[in-house]
């Protein structure tokens, strides 16, 4: 089936899936923490747009509430909280340098291909074209994990962790047309609480050892064991 055979809803979902996958690649190649967080916020806005689109097509009021929560929390509140923490901790001028960036981007591209490969059996058994977006969701999850593995700053690890949750949320919206309202409220509340707890946790670490470099934290742990 070619792209011209799809209706406008399916084309819009695939377009948004592509943009969400692109933001994961942009986060993977970003060395500035402030820009990394703003790209994460952009990914949250795209998620909100996807949820609102599904709500409009299905005429589902609870998905409108979910889209509004996603817009407020993942697009505005959490990015602003993280950026305020970055400025308060003095990390806004520091570079989270990536070692071997070309290899990491090639690894990200390989994960995208792998996601499509493992999703092929599911897509082949379904008539829903939007299931192609499930492959992008899996890629967003894997790229979030790669972001956490390749970065040294703990703040980047938090963004990678929340990006993984974005991938799971996108899969739930496009493949199941949304979760029960109580589940979505619970997840939104958990993500907000996690952002606040991470912020307090980072302030304590920064005041104790004056760094959020996970390599340095690992060396301190090894020194204490000796």
pTM of the entire structure? 0.81
Distance separating alpha carbons of residues 118 and 220, to the nearest angstrom: 40
Lowest mean pLDDT among 45-59, 101-115, 132-146, 165-179: 165-179
DSSP letter (8 states) at residue 3: G
Segments of 24-129 assigned E as strands: none
pLDDT of residue 205: 67
| Residue 178: predicted pLDDT | 63
DSSP annotation of 128 reads -
92-112 residue pLDDT tens = 777 767 777 888 889 989 998
pLDDT of residue 41: 92
| In contact, 40 and 165? CB cutoff 8 Å | no
- Rounded to whole angstroms, the Cα distance separating 82 from 174 reads 28
| pLDDT at 84 > cutoff 60 | yes
Q: How far apart are the first and last CA of the chain?
A: 62
């Amino acid at each position: 089936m070619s792209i011209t055979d799809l209706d406008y809803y399916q084309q819009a979902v695939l377009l948004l899936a592509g943009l969400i996958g692109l933001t994961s690649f942009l986060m993977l190649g970003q060395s500035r923490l402030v820009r990394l967080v703003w790209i994460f916020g952009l990914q949250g806005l795209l998620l909100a747009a996807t949820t609102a689109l599904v709500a409009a097509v299905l005429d589902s009021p609870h998905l409108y509430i979910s889209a509004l929560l996603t817009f407020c929390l993942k697009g505005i509140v959490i990015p602003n909280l993280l950026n305020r923490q970055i400025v308060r901790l003095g990390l806004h001028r520091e570079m989270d340098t990536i070692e071997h960036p070309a290899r990491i981007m090639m690894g990200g591209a390989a994960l995208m291909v792998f996601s499509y490969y493992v999703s092929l059996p599911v897509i082949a058994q379904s008539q829903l074209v939007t299931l192609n977006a499930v492959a992008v969701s899996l890629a967003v999850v894997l790229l979030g994990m790669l972001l956490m593995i390749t970065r040294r700053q703990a703040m980047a690890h938090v963004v990678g962790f929340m990006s993984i949750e974005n991938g799971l949320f996108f899969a739930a919206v496009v493949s199941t047309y949304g979760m029960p309202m109580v589940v979505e409220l619970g997840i939104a509340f958990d993500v907000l609480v996690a952002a606040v707890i991470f912020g307090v946790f980072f302030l304590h670490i920064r005041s104790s050892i004056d760094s959020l470099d996970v390599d340095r934290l690992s060396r301190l742990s090894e020194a204490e064991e000796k």
